[in-house]
Every structure is written in C-alpha cells, then in structure tokens.
C-alpha cells in the first residue's frame, strides 16, 4: 500500500465523511420521526391511518433501499417529480428507517407487561393516560436496543447512495478507484472511515442502552 | 339498614367457548369483608378481576353503588376510582418513585391539588410505616414494602371497595404478617369494604365476615366466616379445609 496516495486522498475522504455523517443524521432523524408517528397510529389503532401505517411498514421493511432509491431518483421524474439526489437519499433513508424504527417502538410498547397495564387501569387511568404514564415511558426504554441497532444499520445503508451519484464515502472511494486504479489504498480508507464513525457510535449506544435499562428498572 | 355496595347477579364468563364462571351471584354490604376461597383454578382471581373490569364478563349484571354495570360498560376508568385493587405481583410502576406511584391516580385521574394529595399520600405512607421511602424507587424496596406501597396507591383514590388478589402469595413468610395487619386495620379502623382472595386460612378465619367457596367456576357455598371453618356446609369445602391444614 502506498501511503502517499492515501495522504493525497484525505481531503476528498474528509468531504465525503462529512456528507455521509450529515445525510445519516438528517435521514435518521427523519426515520425516528416517521417511526414514532407510525407506531402511535398503530398503537391507538387510529381508523384508516393505523392501517396505512401498517401497510407502509411492511412494504418498506420488505423492499431493498436500492430499489426504493431507483424509484425516487429515476421513476419519479417520469411523473414530474424531480428531486436532487441528496434529497432522494434522505427521503429514502427516512422512510426505510421509519419502517424499522416503527417496529422498534411498537416492539417496546408491546413489551410492557400485562400486569403493569392492569395496575395502571386499576387506578383509573384512561386509554391515553395509560399510554402516557405507563406504556410510553416503559416501552421507550425497552425499545432503545432496537432503535440503536437501527441507527447503526441505517448509517451503513448510506453506502447505497453511491448508486444515485451522491458523493458520500462509498461513492467517493469507488470513484477514486476508477480514476487511479489503486483499489487497496482507497478501499482501506473506506473501511477505516466507516469504522471511525461506527465503532465509537456503537460503544456510545451500548452505554446508553445500559443507562436507560438501569436508570428505570434497576435490576 | 345496611347499605349495599356491590351486587352481582348471574355473572357468567367465558374464555372463547370455555366457561370459567357460572351464574355467580352475591351481594356485599358496606363495611363487609368477604373472602373468596377455593382450590387453584376455581376462578377466584378471574371473578375478582371481573369486578373492576380487568376481565370482561359475557352475561349477567353488576350493580355498584346501585348503578348497573353491563358487560359492555364503557365507563370503567371512572368506576375503578371507587374500586381499588391490589395484585399478587405488586406492580408498582418501576419508572416512578414511591410518591409518584401513589400520586399518579389522585393527580392525573382525579385532578386533585398536588399539595393536598401529597400531604395525604405521606400520611398514608406513615400509616404503613414507609414515610421515609417517599422518594425511593420501587426497585429499592423489599416485596413486603412494595406491597404496602401498592395498598397505599389504591387507598389514595378513596375507594369504597377494595379488592385484594392473593396479595401475600409472593411474599416471604415473615413479610406476610405485616400486610395482613394492614388489611385488618383497614377493616377495623376504616370499616373498609373488602373482597379478599387468599390462601391464608387463619387470616380469612379471623377477618372475613363471610366466605364464598368456589370450585370450577361455581360458588359452592356462602357461609359466615367463623362457621365456615368450624362446620362448612359442603363436603367439598370440608375436604378443601382439611387439605390446607397440616
């Protein structure tokens, strides 16, 4: 491996690194928002919209992001909706992620034990109060491990953005490989860049998981 | 003239096709203590859970405070404020402190003033010997302490009827007595009306005005407390009592 080649590529990687972080951040924020909304619609069994949310979750969880992006980027312009590549990427990530996040939240809410629900009902809480004071606080804590796993997964999914020519890490690395025919160096840098993002994040999320678990239940 | 609090009239409950309660009928007057006894699976817990809507019954009537409750009752959140319940597994809310556990009902359900509700909650905690534990979380309490908090949580809503569902069944033996003392005091000092599902025969013998003996979803006999333990009417109840004593 040639260190000087790697050194020269650093500025391009830094730019791509920042873009990857930014797209991930906005996409995951969107995913959490979409996920919470869908999960609430499902929890309260809101007429019609609850069903829509369920169909959406199943549809997006069971189709690849690659295909979703192709639709957004190549098929939507045909019907007159033309969006910049990065917007497509963020929307794709938010809606793919939203379906996973919705499942994460729902799993947490469903994990609250029946006896806790009984205890809440027994003191006269109505449906909304039961959700607000018993199900959501406890269920959210239970859903944190799933949400954390989704965050890691979604960051890795940004590598697929390369197919719609967003200059994030994977796209940048593959470009450089194509230009200079030095695959070892650039691919090594690519792996390193993802590791720099994901390993510390993974550690932080593990600590967070433990914190919320001990914080609210203590055992 | 004793005031009737609860009347149950031909209540039937099914799980799917399987009937678990058959034509249950009885009444409770204000201040009365009724113990539900019977072997495991006889429907005691199911019955007591029907009385505050945690289980749905399919036919028959409940009358609580003269008001009719049908199987389709929509107003359980209102009714449950008047019907307190304590469970075998305590079920304090783990994410709330002891005080917040107790205040949740009075503040959010009954919309009472925080200062007044807090003062009452602390007084109730003092009564069960836990005044120092208001700010503590449930995980830091022993089983017996948790159960005392659970009783206070139910009392804080000023119920007219208390349901106790095997509240000592998962406690260490030395914790049981304290809980039973509290329940007895509720009856003797506050004249609280209570329905108690229990396996503590000595306790039932001491505290219950009346015993309902259930088997396979049917009330086999209703007998005044003392009399039941001396000479139960049915052969089955006598066998049951015999099996419970060593």
Give residue-wise pLDDT tens across range A134-164. Answer: 999 999 999 999 999 999 999 999 999 999 9
Q: What is the pLDDT of residue B1?
A: 58
Q: Using CA atoms, how far apart are residues B236 and B181, in angstroms rounded to an integer?
A: 30
pLDDT (mean) for B27-41: 94
- pLDDT over threshold 90, residue B120: yes
> Number of residue pairs across A and B with CB atoms under 8 Å?
71
Closest-CA residue to A129 (of B121, B153, B110): B110
Query: Which tokens hold the place of B205?
Result: 């013998």
Q: Using CA atoms, how far apart are residues B166 and B176, in angstroms rounded to an integer?
A: 11
8-state DSSP, B58: S
Higher pLDDT, B66 or B86: B86
In the sheet that holds B193-197, the strands lie side by side as B83-86, B161-165, B193-197, B33-37, B210-215, B218-224
- pLDDT over threshold 50, residue B64: yes
CB A102 within 8 A of CB A53: yes
- pLDDT over threshold 90, residue B182: yes
Q: What is the pLDDT of residue A218?
A: 41
- pLDDT over threshold 70, residue A25: yes
- pLDDT over threshold 90, residue B54: yes
Q: How many CB atoms lie within 10 A of CB B191?
A: 11
Q: How many CB atoms lie within 10 A of CB B10?
A: 11
User: CATH for A17-216?
Assistant: 1.10.3720.10
Give residue-wise pLDDT tens across range A93-136. Answer: 999 999 999 999 999 999 999 999 999 999 999 999 999 999 99
Interface of B with A in 113-142 (CB under 8 A): 137, 139-140
Q: How many CB atoms lie within 10 A of CB A84?
A: 11
- pLDDT over threshold 70, residue A214: no
Q: How confident is the model at residue B87 (pLDDT cuts 50, 70, 90)?
A: very high
For β-strands B18-29 and B33-37, DSSP reports them as unpaired
B89 in A contact zone (CB under 8 Å): yes
Interface test with A, best of B64, B91, B124 (most A CBs within 10 A): B91
Q: What is the pLDDT of residue B66?
A: 85
Q: Using CA atoms, how far apart are residues A186 and A170, in angstroms rounded to an integer?
A: 10
Mean residue pLDDT of chain A comes to 93
Spell out the residues 6+ positions from residue B32 whose beta carbon is closer than 8 angstroms to its own: B2, B5, B193, B194, B209, B210
Q: What is the pLDDT of residue A216?
A: 56
Q: How confident is the model at residue A219 (pLDDT cuts 50, 70, 90)?
A: very low
Say whether the ipTM exceeds 0.90.
Answer: yes
Residues of B in contact with A115 (CB under 8 A): 87, 89, 91
A126 in B contact zone (CB under 8 Å): yes
Residues of B in contact with A217 (CB under 8 A): 94-95, 139
In chain B, the percentage of residues whose pLDDT exceeds 90 is: 83
- pLDDT over threshold 70, residue B99: yes
In the sheet that holds B59-64, the strands lie side by side as B18-29, B4-15, B59-64, B67-69
Give residue-wise pLDDT tens across range B138-163. Answer: 999 999 999 999 999 999 999 999 99
- pLDDT over threshold 80, residue B2: no
Q: What is the pLDDT of residue B110?
A: 96
Q: Using CA atoms, how far apart are residues A24 and A39, in angstroms rounded to an integer?
A: 21
Q: Characterise B245 by phi-psi region: left (phi > 0), alpha (psi -120 to 50), beta (else).
A: beta
Q: How confident is the model at residue A217 (pLDDT cuts 50, 70, 90)?
A: low
How close does chain A come to B101, measured CA to CA in Å?
Answer: 10
Q: How confident is the model at residue A215 (pLDDT cuts 50, 70, 90)?
A: low
Q: What is the pLDDT of residue A51?
A: 96
Q: Under CATH, to which class is B4-244 assigned?
A: alpha beta
In chain A, the percentage of residues whose pLDDT exceeds 70 is: 97
User: How many Å separate Cα B29 from the centre of its chain?
Assistant: 15
pLDDT (mean) for B70-91: 93
Residue B114, classified by CB atoms within 10 Å of its CB into exposed (0-12), middle (13-18) or buried (19+), is exposed
Q: What is the pLDDT of residue B173?
A: 86
Residue spans per domain, chain B: 4-244
């Amino acid at each position: 491996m040639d260190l000087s080649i790697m050194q020269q590529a650093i500025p391009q990687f830094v730019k791509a690194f920042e873009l990857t972080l930014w797209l991930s951040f906005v996409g995951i924020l969107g995913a959490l928002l979409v996920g919470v909304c869908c999960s609430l619609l499902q929890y309260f069994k809101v007429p019609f919209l609850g069903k829509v949310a369920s169909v959406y979750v199943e549809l997006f969880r069971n189709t690849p992001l690659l295909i979703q992006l192709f639709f957004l980027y190549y098929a939507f312009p045909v019907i007159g909706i033309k969006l910049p590549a990065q917007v497509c990427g963020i929307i794709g990530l938010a809606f793919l992620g939203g379906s996973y996040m919705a499942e994460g939240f729902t799993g947490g809410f469903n994990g609250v034990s029946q006896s806790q629900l009984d205890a809440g009902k027994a003191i006269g809480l109505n449906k909304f109060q039961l959700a607000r004071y018993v199900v959501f606080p406890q269920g959210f804590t239970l859903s944190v491990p799933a949400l954390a796993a989704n965050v890691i997964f979604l960051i890795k999914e940004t590598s697929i953005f390369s197919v719609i020519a967003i200059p994030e890490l994977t796209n940048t690395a593959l470009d450089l490989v194509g230009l200079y025919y030095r695959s070892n160096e650039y691919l090594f840098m690519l792996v390193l860049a993802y590791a720099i993002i994901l390993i510390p994040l993974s550690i932080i999320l593990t600590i967070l998981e433990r914190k919320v678990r001990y914080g609210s239940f203590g055992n | 003239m004793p005031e009737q609090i609860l009347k149950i009239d031909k209540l039937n409950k099914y799980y799917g096709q399987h009937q678990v309660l058959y034509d249950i009928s009885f009444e409770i007057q204000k201040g009365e203590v009724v113990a539900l006894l019977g072997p495991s699976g006889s429907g005691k817990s199911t019955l007591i859970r029907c009385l505050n809507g945690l289980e749905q019954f399919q036919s028959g009537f409940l009358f609580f405070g003269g008001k009719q409750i049908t199987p389709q009752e929509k107003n359980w959140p209102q009714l449950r404020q008047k019907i307190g319940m304590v469970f075998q597994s305590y079920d304090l809310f783990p994410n709330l402190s002891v005080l917040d556990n107790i205040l949740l009902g009075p503040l959010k359900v009954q919309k009472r003033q925080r200062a007044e509700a807090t003062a009452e909650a602390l007084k109730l905690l003092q009564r069960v010997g836990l005044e120092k534990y208001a700010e503590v979380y449930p995980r830091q309490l022993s089983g017996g302490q948790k159960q005392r908090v659970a009783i206070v949580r139910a009392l804080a809503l000023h119920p007219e009827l208390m349901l106790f569902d095997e509240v000592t069944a998962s406690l260490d033996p030395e914790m049981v007595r304290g809980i039973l003392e509290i329940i007895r005091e509720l009856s003797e000092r506050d004249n609280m009306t209570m329905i108690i599902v229990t396996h503590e025969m000595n306790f039932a013998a001491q505290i219950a005005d009346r015993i309902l003996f259930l088997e396979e979803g049917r009330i086999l006999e209703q007998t005044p407390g003392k009399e039941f333990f001396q000479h139960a009417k049915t052969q089955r109840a006598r066998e049951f009592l015999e099996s419970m004593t060593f």
